Amino acid sequence: MKNLNIIGQSMIGAAMLILAASCQKEDILTEKLDANNNLAVTATVTGREFTLVPDANGRLLIDNTAGTYKPGDIINLKGNFKAVQVVNVSGSASAPITIRNLAGNAVKIGDPAWNGGAYSVGCVFWNSHYIRFGGQSGQSQIVISGSTQGAKEAYYDLQIGNKSDNIEVSNLTIENGGNGIVAKTDPVTGDATTQYPNTTMNNLLIHDLVIKGTANEAMYIGHTATYWDLTANAPYYGATAGMATSHQYVQPIMWKNVKIYNNKVMNIGKDGIQTAAIDHLEVYNNEVTNWAMEKNSAHNGGILIGGRTINTNTHDNYVHDGWGELCQFYGSGGSGVTHIIHNNLFRNGSGDGVSMRGYANAIVQFTNNTIAYTMGNSLRINGSTGQTGVQIVNGNAFIRPHNAVAPIYDKYYIYTEQNAQVQEGTGTLVNKKFPTWLSAQVNAANYYLPLAGSPMGTAGYRKLN
């Protein structure tokens, strides 16, 4: 056993969050490295396990520029940390580097007292790859607790940035702060590797987390800007014909292969699980409740399948009791592209239940979902941005739209506008439509499962396990 003193390494400095006013929401993080903070970290290594503790200021930098940590190593965290910064740390596909709590020791990360200035991120992965991060047992062994102060919206609890990929985050709790998880890379002038399609970030797993009490989104996965104006350093969402001729525009990097599953998300200021710019996205077996607490109609999706997403599968989720819409879809179509929304329970929302406004003739297979107790329509499809192909809507249960205020017209169950089209199933694939809970004869206390004799039949959601 020996002590390693790692002194004078680069630290990640202040992160400035700018909240854009556009309804196409975009959080812009100015990501910056500040050198020579002269912080000390002591590591004790036995074999290929390292135990790292906070420095005198409660911070930890893990900068692997010198190659201290090798594929397959385990880094154990011990103590309470105001910030943990993981820089240039890479395992391999066959031997990732694991960062976890030391067995028998609960770890806290973050600064609830932060109210502006440097260290506005609790835990950050920067130019790091093939990492597993999470607690050894349960979700209480690592807790990331963000700012509770007036400036909390500018605080990131967990950031995955600067092209970091092949990351697995699991078995921890994230609370308070601004954004729970932010996983994206902003384009940088003069660095073509920060632009699509020159680079793709691969493989992100987020599972078995509790995220609660964030002021902004619980998860902000993928870059929401359609284009990035490098000249103005700002997002651009308009048509290419409207671009300023004197400005340089690029597209942000996309993720490929993202899975978000087995998470509990609750008491969130804005969107619950927000995604964008992903090829092959699977969102499943999550529970999202009480989102959009700030009641902002531009940030009100329980689960949001955002722009520049292709090949998505949203299934077996339970989304309920929130101010906004239960699920929103903005994905894109294309040759061979598929989108599936299947076997989800969406109930008790203050707007439309599920809304779609996709691009490039996106086609969604919307099957065996239950949408119940909405203040607006059960399902609303708007073709104004290009989702004008025939949507497949089969075997769903639509219960009590428009707050059951009579008369309930058929269009309240599936509302189409701006040239949107729907093909409804027949026979065993028919959609069942009920103006009231009583007419559906379902057990509202048991995931809206049909009672004996219910006319719902095989339509709608069925809870797995």
Residues 296 and 343 in one domain: no
Judged by average pLDDT, the poorest of 40-54, 69-83, 92-106, 326-340 is: 40-54
Q: How many domains does the chain have?
A: 2
**Confidence category of residue 30, pLDDT binned at 50, 70, 90:** very low
Residues 404 and 258 in one domain: no
* CA angle (177 as vertex; 176, 182 as ends), nearest 5: 115
Note if the pTM is more than 0.75. yes
Within-domain flag for 331: no
Residues 386 and 448: their CA atoms lie apart, in Å, by: 34
Q: What is the mean pLDDT of residues 346-357?
A: 97
Residues 167 and 291 in one domain: yes
| pLDDT over 80 at 317, yes or no | yes
Q: How many CB atoms are closer than 10 A to CB 303?
A: 28
Residues 317 and 414 in one domain: no
Within-domain flag for 329: no
Mean pLDDT of the chain: 91
Within-domain flag for 455: yes
| pLDDT over 80 at 40, yes or no | no
Within-domain flag for 332: no
Could you give the count of Cα atoms lying within 13 Å of 340 in the half-sphere of its Cβ? 15
Check residue 163 and give its pLDDT. Answer: 98
For 292, the domain range is 2-323
**Confidence category of residue 6, pLDDT binned at 50, 70, 90:** very low
Segments in 283-364 forming alpha helices (H): none
Check residue 246 and give its pLDDT. Answer: 97
Residues 26 and 56 in one domain: yes
Residues 287 and 347 in one domain: no
Residues 115 and 61 in one domain: yes
Residues 286 and 349 in one domain: no
Least Cα distance to 131 among 187, 163, 89, 70 occurs for 89
Check residue 45 and give its pLDDT. Answer: 67
- E-strand stretches of 237-363: 249-252, 254-261, 264-266, 273-275, 278-284, 287-289, 301-305, 309-315, 318-322, 325-329, 339-342, 345-349, 354-356
Which amino acid appears at position 319 of this protein? V
Looking at the chain, the whole-number percentage of residues with pLDDT higher than 70 is 90
Residues 280 and 217 in one domain: yes
Check residue 465 and give its pLDDT. Answer: 78
Within-domain flag for 372: yes
Looking at the chain, the whole-number percentage of residues with pLDDT higher than 90 is 89
Check residue 46 and give its pLDDT. Answer: 60
Residues 28 and 107 in one domain: yes
Within-domain flag for 9: yes
**Confidence category of residue 44, pLDDT binned at 50, 70, 90:** low
- Beta-carbon contacts of residue 242 (< 8 Å; ≥ 6 apart): none
Residues 252 and 374 in one domain: no
Segments in 168-325 forming alpha helices (H): none
Residues 215 and 69 in one domain: yes
Confirm if 34 and 120 have CB atoms less than 8 A apart.
no
Within-domain flag for 258: yes
Within-domain flag for 175: yes
| pLDDT over 70 at 8, yes or no | no
Beta bridge mates, 173: 143, 210
The pLDDT tens digits of the residues spanning 145-167 come to 999 999 999 999 999 999 999 99
* CA angle (310 as vertex; 308, 312 as ends), nearest 5: 125
Confirm if 201 and 256 have CB atoms less than 8 A apart.
yes
The pLDDT tens digits of the residues spanning 116-150 come to 999 999 999 999 999 999 999 999 999 999 999 99
Check residue 43 and give its pLDDT. Answer: 62
